[in-house]
Amino acid sequence: MVKSVGTHTNLMLQARRMQGQIKSLQENLETAAFEGGAGGGLVKVVVDGRQKVKKVEIAPDAFNPDDPGELADLVMAAVNMAITASQEASQREMRKITGGINLPGLF
């Protein structure tokens, strides 16, 4: 019976430590920056680690009056690249904390 209590206590300590690490990761992700680009640098987008767009840069040469949809495609591609980079970094850091255990709902 003592072994069971010790194991339970150890698990609780590990869970608290993991919870603190996850909170720290979430705070760090709010200030992290991930960039996506498209059109050879014509469009650049920066998102934070929570996938919130923080900055959009569009070079004047990105707009083609004969094909305005091209600019929309470039913006969409840059946003998606930045979000993917952010998600991959978040998942990579989370795996370090959890040892690869999937904890739904955290990110």
Sheet of strand 43-47: strand arrangement = 34-38, 43-47, 53-58
Tens-place pLDDT, residues 19-41: 888 888 888 888 899 999 999 99
Which ranges constitute the DSSP H helices of the chain? 2-31, 68-98
pTM here is 0.74
106: pLDDT confidence band, cut at 50, 70 and 90? low
Q: Which residue shows structure tokens 């955290």?
A: 106
Domains and CATH numbers, the chain: 2-98 (3.30.1310.10)
- The rounded Cα 56 to chain-centroid distance in angstroms is 17
Residue bearing the bigger pLDDT, 62 or 107 = 62
Q: Which residues pair with 53 in a beta bridge?
A: 47
Q: What per-residue confidence (pLDDT) applies to 76?
A: 97
Q: What per-residue confidence (pLDDT) applies to 45?
A: 98
71: DSSP letter: H
Distance separating alpha carbons of residues 82 and 45, to the nearest angstrom: 7
